Structure 1
């Protein structure tokens, strides 16, 4: 019962988001100038960099864990 009540409250909270105006002037201006693609490319580069960094850290951590298990 608590899960249903909580889900209902969350759904009602998101309904007011649909009532807002979707006219974001900055995004419309960037889209009309064609600069939105530059922003999207920058965001993708940042996310790929973060994912590569996390993969590198995970690889090093696994190596350290293996060395630690061998030493015991």
Structure 2
């Protein structure tokens, strides 16, 4: 069993290094056209919105906990 686990781990690690060497064509294309900034901006808006939602949710839960005590 130990040999099989070691073999699978070695196989996975060897394939990861192969994938790490490839260039990502989509990212280079977006970067060359200047559209990567749009992608970054959209991701930033999503993360900020999610953070704001979690902040408001935490405040509501805190109010309910205080009211329950």
TM-score (norm 1): 0.72
Instruction: Verify: 1:37 aligned to 2:37, yes or no.
Output: yes
List runs of 5+ in structure 1 lacking aligned partners: 1-8
Partner in structure 1 of residue 17 of structure 2? 18
Structure 1 ranges of 4+ moved more than 2 A:
12-16
Determine the C-alpha separation between the residues in 2 that align with 1:22 and 1:61. Answer: 46
Could you tell which deviates more after superposition, 15-24 or 42-51?
Answer: 15-24
Q: How big is the alpha-carbon RMSD for the aligned residues of Structure 1 and Structure 2?
A: 2.0
TM-score, L = length of structure 2: 0.74
Give the unaligned 5+ runs of structure 2: 1-8
